[in-house]
Amino acid sequence: MKLYHSPASPYVRKVMVSALHLGLAEGIERIAASPSPVKPDPVLSAQNPLGKLPAAVLSDGTLLVGSRTICEYLAAQGSDPTWLPAPGPARWAVLELHDLGDGILDAALVARYETFVRPEAFRWADWVSGQMLKIDTALARLDSMTDRLQGQLNLGNVTVGCALGYLDFRFAHHDWRTANPRLAAWWADFDQIPVMAQTRPA
C-alpha cells in the first residue's frame, strides 16, 4: 500500500497508529505530500483527485480516501478484532469515540486554516470562536466518559488521542485541561504509549 502523508496531519497519524498497532506498518510505502486548501500538491492530486490527506493506493490500484476508510481497510487485514469490532454494540461504542475525536479534528483544522492560511484582512473571528466551541463541548463530553477511553487500544480511543495531540501541537495556547481534568489525566498516560509517542506530529 502506498500512503500519501504528512507527519503533521492528525488524520495520517491515526492511520499510522493503526498500522503500527496491527503490525502492518512495514507494508506501507509512505509518500510525502503537502497540500493546502488553496494550493494542491501535484504528486498527491495525480493519485487522489480530491487532493486531500491521507490517501492510500492499494496494489491493485484501488484508491482509499480518508482516514476512517484506510483504517477500516487496515483493520480488515489485521488480527485484532477489538481494534474495530464487527457490527454490534462494541463497534458503535468505538465509533462514537472515533466520531467525537474526528469532529474535534475537523473543527480544529477549520480554525487552523482560518487563522493561518486565510489572509488576515479576511479572517472571521466569530467563525473561529464557533469552531472552538464545538471543540470545547466535545471535550466536555469526553471528560464525562473517560471510563470508555480506558483499556485496550482501539480506533476510538486512538482517534481521541490524535485529536488531543493535535490541539497540543497547533493550539498550545488553548487550555482545555483545566475544564477537563479527567480527560487530561487520561491523556497524560495515553500519550506515553509507544505507538502514540512514535507518531507525535512534527
What domains are defined for the chain? 2-77 (3.40.30.10), 89-194 (1.20.1050.10)
Residues 29-85 have pLDDT tens digits of 999 998 877 788 888 988 999 989 999 999 999 999 999 999 999 999 999 999 999
For residue 181, give the 3-state DSSP assignment: helix
Count CB atoms within 10 A of the CB of residue 20: 18
Give the CA count within 13 Å in the CB-facing half-sphere of 2.
14
What is the pLDDT at residue 199? 96
Q: Which residues pair with 39 in a beta bridge?
A: 36
Alpha carbon distance 81, 196 (integer Å): 20
The total number of residues written for the chain in this structure = 202
Region for residue 55 given its phi and psi (left: phi exceeds 0; alpha: psi -120 to 50; beta: otherwise):
beta
For residue 56, give the 3-state DSSP assignment: strand
What is the pLDDT at residue 23? 96
What is the pLDDT at residue 163? 98
What is the pLDDT at residue 64? 97
- Going by their DSSP bridges, the two strands 2-5 and 29-32 should be labelled as parallel
Count CB atoms within 10 A of the CB of residue 155: 27
Output the CA torsion sign for 111, 186, 146, 99.
positive
Q: What does the pLDDT profile of the chain (202 residues) look like in tens digits?
A: 999 999 899 999 999 999 999 999 999 999 999 887 778 888 898 899 998 999 999 999 999 999 999 999 999 999 999 999 999 999 999 999 999 999 999 999 999 988 877 888 888 899 899 999 999 999 999 999 999 999 999 999 999 999 999 999 999 999 999 999 999 999 999 999 999 999 998 7
pTM value is: 0.94
Grid cell listed for 109: 483544522
